[in-house]
Amino acid sequence: MSTSYDLVVIGSGPAGYVAAIHGAQSGLKTALIEKKEWLGGTCLNVGCIPTKAMLHSASMFDKASKLASYGVKIEGADKPGGIKLDFPQVNTRKDEIVKHVNGGVAFLMKKNKIDVIRGMGRLAGTGSVEVTAADGSKSKIQAKNIILATGSKVRELPHIKIDGKDILSSDHILYLDKVPESLAILGGGVVGSEFASCFGRFGSKVAIFEMSDQLVPSEDFETAAELAKALKKQNVEIFTSIKVKSITAKGGKVEVLVEGESAPRVYEKALISVGRAPVTEDIGLETVGIKPDARGFIPVDLKTYKTTAANVYAVGDIIPTPQLAHTASAEAMFAVDIVTGKKRSPINYLTNPGAIYTYPEVASIGHREQDLKKEGREYSVGKFPFSAIAKARIEDASDGFVKILTDKKYGEILGVHIVHAKATELIAEFSLGNNLEMTIDELAHTIHPHPTISETILEAAHAAKGHAIHI
Amino acid sequence: MATNVLMPQMGESINEGTLTKWHKKVGDKVQREEILFEISTDKVDTEIPSPVSGVLVQVLANEGSVVAVNSVVAVVDESGVGASPSTPAAKPAAAPEPVAAPAPAPAAVASAPLAPSANDAVEESNRAVKSSPLVRKIAAEHNIDLSKVAGSGENGRINKQDLVSYIEAAKSTGSGLVASAAQAAFSAVKTAPGAAIDSTGGQISGTVDGVRVERVPMTQMRKKIAEHMVMSKRTSPHVTSVIEIDLQKIVDLRGKFKDKFESLHGFKLSFMPFFMHAALEGIKAVPIVNASVDGDAILYKKDVNLGIAVALDWGLIVPVIKNSTERSFVGLARELENLASKARNKKLAPDDVKGGTFSISNFGGFGTIIGQPIINQPQVAIMGIGAMVKKPVVVNDAIAIRTTCHVVLSFDHRVIDGSDSGKFLSTVKNTLENWALPVV
């Protein structure tokens, strides 16, 4: 193995491994450093992939009880206890999928002739990275360019101790051996809502405690209301504008003490999902003079992803941009393009889609209505419910809506909020359209196939222009 | 065959004009050189003749609408039968300057959706430039030719941010000739139009800060003058120096020859040609006053095109006497007379106001003795003439009554120093006090 590279990437998540592949494809001699035994980072191992695998099982379990209504009869299914959740199999399937995708990343490294170096990578002065292997041995490699992609970890609270047994983080809840009878979730953001939707449908009695005044605080207020409505049908209680004083494990149970209450509420397990913190400690930033901000993020120039240190770039969850896998990959490719001298137009984060995989899913892009209102902008709202669309009824997925916010003068698409079983797929139309700066007119004049779920977008576009057709 | 009649470019910083009057209606016959319509721009009000003989078959801009330079405003069919034109609206020809000042879309044009409008012409050409639907919509609204806008998107595609920046920049500077440094400096100024608009709540009369006011929108010309003046003050560090000149010799000379001059040449001899000639002598002695700043370089102009500020009832215009050094005294006088009368009769052609390299302003008409004129960018100096007054002066140690005046030079201290100015003014003084040129 060589010790000198054009590009060294630290971290193998969706930022790091994509940077490595794109770098190698662009002709750079590339090395990828990963401290864990598996490639793919949070997303692949303890994030996007395993959680969506579990959520899909939850959806199938949910559907199973409705099969008879479609005319699919399974012997014994109609008897009490006829349809059962095989939770170990849920985990097995999830683990198999993770393993498969994991192998896929390893293959891609080999295919692109990327040197994967196992160990903890740290910056060691200009143009140099030190790698500490599992056995403690140290080696140094030279790098013309370095991309930091060390990602994020579960954010912890000083007054609540995550023990991994009863009080869990998202890393732990993936490895339960049975579905808890009850589950308290601290934090009603993306992660909290997804696990609520998952375990609620598995049969847990779930309670979400959210400090701000709406579920999924980063989303449009109507989205939050629609999702809350749906989650309540999935054994989920939602408490907003609530402060939790303490969560403590006691005798195999978890006690949640809410501010202003004298007696604790008792649950079998608790999940702490209060966000993710950047991993920027102990990676040698000080050796090249990079100073993280107060929250630990690395400041970068968003036109190049350059840090304050020469030839050191930072992308993904360690910079103060949306902490999403697809965002990280986009930033990673951008940084590599800068390394190889390509001219790129800066990423417009207003065209960056957000996705939540609850039932129904939530997907959004651009501004929220409450923000536009606050800014005093002149906007129009086009909203259309899936319940008026035939294909949604056929697929038994009538919950939710498409909401399009447009600028009154030019019809610019300012924000899109979709709540639907397939919302995360539907939003891609706006990722493209908004990136190309379409206006509501182009959207309304685009022919959508019939019968489909996507027709709802067309209807919402007409609604934004003043006249929906099918309602 | 159909010929498109374009909105002419009337001066270097002019990007649009108001079509004020049609002299012909659709279906009318028109001769070549016959007046077709009238326009008013910020610099010039003028009549536009038809480029060909034929029948006016299409009118693409209504009276009162603001039209971008080089867009099609009429179609004349030369076959004379009034057949429909082959090209409904041509693309605007590439203009050397950016199309700046956003103008409200001509409402009258927009309300006739079936006829192709001047706006359509811009829109049509905009489709050939890489841009987004949103950008084209905003550009159409502001009547902007996108070929002038730099794109920062994929493969040079113009995105919303590019256009917004362009509009902002265009708002802040009227002239495409101004060095980029000046533009950058100027674009930093944000006037607060909102506050002004709200001051009377959109009413013509009202009370602002306890004072009763009447609200009158600026004319195009006034807006341009305002922009140009502020821009000049921000661009050039102005210094003004003053010299007093004994004009007795000139006064006597003119008194003696003015009747003969008029009978010989057919127009009155004013004092201005004397000052113009003196200024030309000054420029010869101090060439830096006939220059401009181009980034880190100085452009010394080999031609001297004298701009003479002419006050009009409706504003101010600076017609330009081209190649002034190549003209005789009478030639200078005649061209001045010619341009001034054109200006007053709204007959100035675009060329008449273009390309000035040095300007003269005569502010003495109402008795003002000293003024500090603002440099006409991108020039670097302007000479001002104060009122002529009789004064006791010392001549050969005796007190005598003489006609005198103050002549000033406002100069751009970036490139001109006080000594240059002193030398220029003393040359002007010498030329006038020791006049040696025949006047008839």
Nearest alpha-carbon partner for B165 in B177, B140, B181, B148: B148
- Looking at the structure, tell me whether residues A113 and A17 fall in a common domain: yes
Contact B138 A438 (CB under 8 A): no
Q: What's chain B's average pLDDT?
A: 79
pLDDT value at residue B191: 36
Q: Select the residue of A345, A409, A437 nearest B133 (Cβ to Cβ).
A: A437
Query: Measured between CB atoms, does B164 come within 8 Å of chain A?
Result: no
The pLDDT of B111-124, averaged and rounded, is 50
Neighbours of B326 (CB within 10 A): 10
Q: Give the tens place of pLDDT for each residue, A398-408.
A: 999 999 999 99
Among A45-49, A226-230, A464-468, the minimum mean pLDDT is found in A464-468
Q: Give the tens place of pLDDT for each residue, B61-90.
A: 888 888 888 888 888 888 755 444 444 343
Final residue of a structural domain among A251, A274, A297: A274
The pLDDT of B12-22, averaged and rounded, is 78
Question: Does residue A440 lie in a domain region?
Answer: yes
Among A297-311, B275-289, B339-353, the minimum mean pLDDT is found in B339-353
Final residue of a structural domain among A339, A368, A383: A339
Nearest alpha-carbon partner for B89 in B74, B104, B109: B74
- Looking at the structure, tell me whether residues A262 and A293 fall in a common domain: no
Query: One-letter amino acid identity for B119?
Result: N
pLDDT value at residue B221: 74
Asked if residue B141 has pLDDT above 90, the reply is no
- Looking at the structure, tell me whether residues A193 and A237 fall in a common domain: yes
Q: What's chain A's average pLDDT?
A: 96
Question: Does residue A352 lie in a domain region?
Answer: no
Contacts of A442 in chain B (CB under 8 A): 133
Q: By percentage, how much of chain A surpasses pLDDT 70?
A: 100
Contact A412 B132 (CB under 8 A): no
Q: Give the tens place of pLDDT for each residue, A111-145.
A: 999 999 999 999 999 999 999 999 999 999 999 99
* Chain A: residue whose CA lies nearest to B151: A345
At residue B408, the 3 state secondary structure works out as: strand
Q: Quick check: A307 and A278 in contact, CB under 8 A?
A: no
Among A372-386, B41-55, B63-77, B424-438, the minimum mean pLDDT is found in B41-55
* Chain A: residue whose CA lies nearest to B141: A410
- Looking at the structure, tell me whether residues A182 and A289 fall in a common domain: no
Nearest CA-CA distance, residue A432 and chain B, Å = 12
Q: Quick one: pLDDT band at residue A217, thresholds 50, 70, 90?
A: very high
Contact A437 B160 (CB under 8 A): yes
The pLDDT of B143-152, averaged and rounded, is 86
At CB < 8 Å, which residues of chain A contact B?
A: 345, 409-412, 436-439, 441-442
What are the backbone dihedrals phi and psi of residue B203, each rounded to the nearest 5 degrees, phi first?
-90, 155
Residue B368: exposed, middle, or buried by beta-carbon count in 10 A (0-12, 13-18, 19+)?
Answer: middle
A-contacting residues in B 105-144 (Cβ below 8 Å): 132-135, 137-138, 141
Count of the separate structural domains present in chain A: 3
R_g (Cα) of chain A, nearest Å: 24
* Chain A: residue whose CA lies nearest to B140: A410
pLDDT value at residue B202: 57
Contacts of A410 in chain B (CB under 8 A): 134, 137-138, 141
- Looking at the structure, tell me whether residues A90 and A236 fall in a common domain: no
Containing domain of residue A421, as a range? Answer: 360-465
The pLDDT of A7-28, averaged and rounded, is 98
Q: Quick one: pLDDT band at residue B347, thresholds 50, 70, 90?
A: confident
Paired tokens of A283 = 């990676």
- Looking at the structure, tell me whether residues A209 and A316 fall in a common domain: no
Final residue of a structural domain among A247, A274, A301: A274
- Looking at the structure, tell me whether residues A137 and A245 fall in a common domain: no
Question: Which strand (E) or helix (H) includes residue B142?
Answer: helix B133-142
pLDDT value at residue A205: 98
Nearest alpha-carbon partner for B124 in B37, B64, B60: B60
Q: Select the residue of B135, B141, B152 nearest A437 (Cβ to Cβ).
A: B135
Q: Which of the following is catalytic: B294, B303, B351, B417? A: B417
Q: Give the tens place of pLDDT for each residue, B242-267.
A: 999 999 999 999 999 989 999 988 88
Counting one residue from A and one from B, how many pairs have CB atoms under 8 Å apart?
Answer: 30
Q: Which fold has domain B2-166?
A: OB fold (Dihydrolipoamide Acetyltransferase, E2P) (2.40.50)
Instruction: Specify the length of chain A in residues.
Output: 471
pLDDT value at residue A470: 83
CA gap A348, A344 in Å, rounded: 12
The structure's pTM equals 0.61
- Looking at the structure, tell me whether residues A146 and A60 fall in a common domain: yes
- Looking at the structure, tell me whether residues A290 and A249 fall in a common domain: no
Q: Quick one: pLDDT band at residue B123, thresholds 50, 70, 90?
A: low
Q: Quick one: pLDDT band at residue B171, thresholds 50, 70, 90?
A: confident
Question: Does residue A162 lie in a domain region?
Answer: no
Contact B133 A345 (CB under 8 A): no
Q: Quick one: pLDDT band at residue A417, thresholds 50, 70, 90?
A: very high
- Looking at the structure, tell me whether residues A329 and A414 fall in a common domain: no
Question: Does residue A345 lie in a domain region?
Answer: no
Contacts of A437 in chain B (CB under 8 A): 132-135, 159-160
- Looking at the structure, tell me whether residues A59 and A188 fall in a common domain: no
Contact A439 B133 (CB under 8 A): yes
Q: By percentage, how much of chain A surpasses pLDDT 90?
A: 96
Q: Quick check: B312 and B45 in contact, CB under 8 A?
A: no
Q: Which fold has domain B237-433?
A: Chloramphenicol Acetyltransferase (3.30.559)
pLDDT value at residue B343: 81
The pLDDT of B152-159, averaged and rounded, is 86
- Sequence spans of domains, chain B: 2-166, 237-433
Neighbours of B255 (CB within 10 A): 9
| ipTM value for the complex | 0.78
Q: Give the CATH number of the domain where residue A141 resides.
A: 3.50.50.60
pLDDT value at residue B109: 34
- Looking at the structure, tell me whether residues A439 and A380 fall in a common domain: yes
Tell me if residue B277 is catalytic. Answer: no
Contacts of A412 in chain B (CB under 8 A): 134, 160
Asked if residue B180 has pLDDT above 60, the reply is no
Query: Measured between CB atoms, does B165 come within 8 Å of chain A?
Result: no
Question: Does residue A221 lie in a domain region?
Answer: yes
Query: Measured between CB atoms, does B153 come within 8 Å of chain A?
Result: yes
pLDDT value at residue A12: 97
Nearest CA-CA distance, residue B61 and chain A, Å = 23
Contacts of B159 in chain A (CB under 8 A): 345, 437
pLDDT value at residue B61: 86
Q: Give the tens place of pLDDT for each residue, A83-103.
A: 999 999 999 999 999 999 999
Q: Give the tens place of pLDDT for each residue, B207-229.
A: 777 788 887 878 777 888 888 88
Asked if residue B148 has pLDDT above 80, the reply is yes
More confident residue, B133 or B187: B133
